[in-house]
Amino acid sequence: MKKTILFVSLLVSTFAVSAQKTWFVGGSAGISYVNYFSFYFEPQFGYEITDRWAIGTGIGLSLADDGYTTIVGVVDPFVRFCAWHNERFFIDLKAGAGLGFVDELLLCQVGLQPSLRFRINDHWDFSADLGLLGAKYTYSDGRRPAFGISSSAGLWIAYRF
């Protein structure tokens, strides 16, 4: 019985400590028109393990209308490392593996993504992802993998609680 009470006490204290602004939710959304209309929505959620390390994932949808309406499901797990920070600004490196699919795999990317993060207050962060260094496979590239640096960028906002 003592072991059960000790285990439950440790479990409760772990969750009590983890409730101190370590979970976060957020995401990004966007609309664009370059030759065709596209829209994406990707909520993200995760856990800040320490002040330098965080894990999380994004799960979302991307819609493109280039004559055919295509809805793509997106899963984007990541690990984030804070390389430098002061009180408000952070330089992060995110290692991620994104997958996009409809009936078959349309997108797969693995790589490092540098990002700049600004802490608005104790709860809100605003971040900009700056490209991708890694490997990417897309159906539109004729099923050929591509390696190198991508110039894509993304913005997202997160709430820590």
> What is the full per-residue pLDDT of the chain (161 aa) written as tens digits?
555 555 545 444 544 444 456 899 999 888 877 777 888 889 999 999 988 999 999 999 888 887 777 788 889 999 999 999 999 999 999 999 888 887 777 778 889 989 999 999 989 999 998 888 888 777 665 556 666 676 667 788 999 88
pLDDT for residue 158? 92
CATH code matching the domain that covers 22-160, chosen among 3.40.50.1360, 2.40.160.20, 3.40.50.300, 3.40.50.720: 2.40.160.20
Task: Output helix, strand, coil percentages for the chain, rounded to the nearest 5.
Answer: 10, 70, 20
What totals of helices (H) and strands (E) does the chain contain, helices first?
1, 8
Q: Do 52 and 82 contact (CB within 8 A), yes or no?
A: yes
Q: Which residues pair with 104 in a beta bridge?
A: none
Distance CA(143)–CA(158), nearest Å, equals 34
Query: Domain coordinates of the chain in residue numbers?
Result: 22-160
